[in-house]
């Protein structure tokens, strides 16, 4: 059983740093446009590519640029610019679904990964795309048995990519699922003229709808009001089975989610993957990891289609079921390097000894600690309020304007 590569989402520098700090083997990200989260996350700019590459290379982390939307003629010059800039910056590979992007990358000798939007479900399709790519994301609707059949046939038939190495298979491991087949959906386009296939999904499937029979006006009773909004995918409790099917990469969804989400999810899956390698993965640890994953944004969890389950794992609401939430407290003003103490200006709500706090920033990432002691306006006190200057021992560097949050329990209605 080969060790799985853990791929993390990065919608901005905060999330990128959170991924690096918590053990990601690779990161994937979008630049400006032409990616499936063009509207959902901040996204990086062309000028950010060297910095992304530098930070990741320092930790031996692979970098993947997503260029996986539908491409039109007027996009072609942008595609070539993005691919060339990525190559020049030392980005590892491009994730693509359109042949124009695939060819643009191949022409300059850049590694290509086939996106899930291609919807690869069989070995013959793998053989075709092996002409262009070394890594392929399979359709997310496949069962683990179907995935294993494909990986075994790759080995048996010695199917190689352009590099001369056997094709590597990637699947999604955690995060949002939608009602569309491998992300291909026109619901948002029809309703809002905002195409999901161009990275501009309005997520109208996540809303509550009433179904009415037009001839009689009869309103259909539906037990679950969110019948188009699946629960989030989670595989940490079946990771031993996932690893057994011969995949190379486990992809965590979430380029539109907050840095603390990236930090928490990557940390849990890093521990689980390492646990499989050193044989400490067990049910007791899974319970702990599940409790941690429930603290950040989620719509409830299920194993997706991997175990051959029938459809019907729908969420019961339009928002998050996270057991915790963050409350903005203030921002960083100074850092004292020798004692590793951070100074913060409190701009909203209170902060007390014993609170769990979250500090986020483009270089800091997402750091979560418990406040064990603090100084308030140069006095040793147990509570700070709006307008106070508070210093807290941290053990890591912060930067001016880093954001300070308090983590509190989140009451979720069933």
What's the mean pLDDT in 121-141?
95
Length of the chain: 414
| Residue ranges matching CATH 3.20.20.70 in the chain | 5-178+231-302
Helix (H) or strand (E) holding 67: strand 62-67
Q: Pull the structure tokens for residue 57.
A: 């290379």
Reported as a pLDDT band with limits 50, 70 and 90, residue 141 is confident
Q: How many CA atoms lie within 13 A of 406 on its CB side?
A: 20
Helix (H, G, I), strand (E, B), or coil: what is residue 148?
A: helix
**Which pLDDT score is estimated for 300?**
87
Q: Is the pLDDT of residue 223 over 60?
A: no
5-178+231-302 fold = TIM Barrel (3.20.20)
Delimiting residues of CATH 2.40.30.10 domain(s) in the chain: 324-409
pLDDT at residue number 179: 67
**Residue with more model confidence, 411 or 59:** 59
Q: Convert the pLDDT of each residue in 316-361 to its tens digit.
A: 666 788 899 999 999 999 999 999 999 999 999 899 999 999 999 9
Strand 375-376 and strand 379-380: the pairing is antiparallel
The Cα–Cα gap between 308 and 294 comes to 24
Question: What confidence tens digit (pLDDT) does each residue in 262-309 have?
Answer: 999 999 999 999 999 999 999 999 999 999 999 998 988 989 889 986
- Closest Cα to residue 272, out of 254, 255, 252? 252
The answer to whether residues 299 and 232 touch, using CB atoms and an 8 Å cutoff, is yes
Residue 358 neighbours by CB under 8 Å, 6+ apart? 260, 326, 366, 367, 368, 404, 405, 406, 407
- Cα atoms in the 13 Å half-sphere on the side-chain side of 22: 32
Q: Quick one: average pLDDT of 4-13? A: 96
304 vs 280: CA distance, rounded Å = 25
How far apart CA 311 and CA 182 sit, in angstroms, is 15
CATH, domain range 324-409: 2.40.30.10
In this predicted structure, what is the pLDDT of residue 189? 60
Higher pLDDT, 320 or 219: 320
Res. 88: pLDDT tops 70: yes
pLDDT at residue 388, rounded to an integer: 95
- The highest-confidence range among 118-122, 198-202, 310-314, by mean pLDDT, is 118-122
pLDDT of 253 strictly over 70:
yes
pLDDT of residue 13: 96
The more confidently predicted of residues 35 and 167 is 167
Report d(CA 66, CA 151) in Å as an integer. 24
Average pLDDT, the chain: 89
Taking the C-alpha atoms of residue 287 and residue 292, their distance in angstroms, rounded to an integer, is: 9
Model confidence at 224, in pLDDT bands (50, 70, 90)? Answer: low
Please say if the pLDDT value at position 410 is more than 90.
no
Quick one: pLDDT at residue 114?
96
Cα–Cα distance between 47 and 212 in angstroms, integer?
51
Q: What is the pLDDT of residue 260?
A: 96
Distance from chain centroid for Cα 393: 30
Q: Are 159 and 166 in contact (CB under 8 A)?
A: yes
Q: Does position 42 have pLDDT exceeding 80, yes or no?
A: no
Q: Answer whether 356's CB lies under 8 Å from 368's CB.
A: yes
The dihedral sign for the CA sequence 311, 316, 319, 325: negative
- Give pLDDT, residue 308: 82
Note the pLDDT of residue 214: 72
Report the range of poorest mean pLDDT among 43-52, 215-224, 374-383.
215-224
Looking at per-residue confidence, does 140 or 39 come out higher?
A: 140
* pLDDT at residue 249 tops 90: yes
């Amino acid at each position: 059983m080969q060790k799985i590569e853990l791929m993390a989402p990065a919608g901005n520098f905060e999330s990128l740093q959170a991924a690096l700090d918590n053990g990601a083997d690779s990161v994937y990200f979008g630049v400006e446009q032409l990616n499936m989260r063009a509207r959902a996350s901040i996204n990086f700019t062309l000028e950010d590519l060297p910095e992304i590459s530098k930070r990741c290379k320092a930790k031996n982390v692979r970098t993947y640029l997503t260029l996986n939307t539908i491409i039109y003629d007027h996009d072609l010059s942008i595609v070539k610019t993005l691919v060339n800039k990525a190559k020049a910056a030392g980005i590892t590979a491009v994730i693509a679904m359109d042949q124009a992007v695939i060819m643009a990358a191949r022409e300059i000798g850049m590694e290509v990964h086939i996106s899930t939007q291609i919807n690869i479900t069989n070995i013959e399709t793998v053989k075709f795309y092996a002409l262009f790519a070394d890594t392929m994301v399979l359709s997310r609707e496949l069962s683990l048995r179907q995935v294993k059949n494909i990986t075994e046939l790759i080995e048996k038939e010695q199917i190689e990519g352009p590099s001369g190495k056997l094709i590597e298979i990637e699947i999604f491991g955690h995060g949002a699922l939608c009602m569309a087949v491998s992300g291909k959906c026109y619901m948002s386009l029809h309703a809002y003229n905002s195409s999901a296939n161009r990275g501009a999904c309005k997520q109208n499937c996540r809303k509550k709808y009433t179904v009415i029979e037009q001839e009689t006006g009869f309103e259909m009773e539906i037990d679950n009001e969110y019948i188009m909004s699946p629960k989030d995918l989670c595989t940490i409790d079946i990771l031993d089975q996932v690893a057994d099917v011969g995949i190379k990469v486990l992809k965590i969804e979430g380029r539109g989610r907050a840095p603390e989400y990236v930090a928490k999810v990557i940390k849990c899956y890093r521990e689980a993957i390492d646990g499989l390698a050193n044989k400490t993965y067990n049910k007791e640890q899974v319970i702990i990891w599940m409790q941690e994953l429930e603290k950040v944004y989620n719509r409830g969890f299920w194993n997706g289609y991997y175990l051959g389950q029938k459809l019907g794992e729908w969420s019961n609401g339009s928002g998050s079921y996270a057991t915790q939430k963050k409350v903005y407290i203030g921002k960083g003003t100074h850092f004292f390097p020798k004692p590793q103490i951070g100074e913060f200006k409190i701009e909203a709500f209170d902060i007390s000894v014993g609170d769990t706090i979250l500090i986020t920033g483009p270089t800091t990432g997402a750091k979560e600690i418990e406040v064990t002691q603090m100084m308030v306006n140069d006095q040793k006190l147990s509570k700070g309020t709006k307008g106070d200057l508070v210093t807290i021992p941290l053990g890591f560097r912060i930067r001016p304007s880093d954001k300070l949050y308090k983590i509190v329990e989140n009451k979720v209605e069933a």
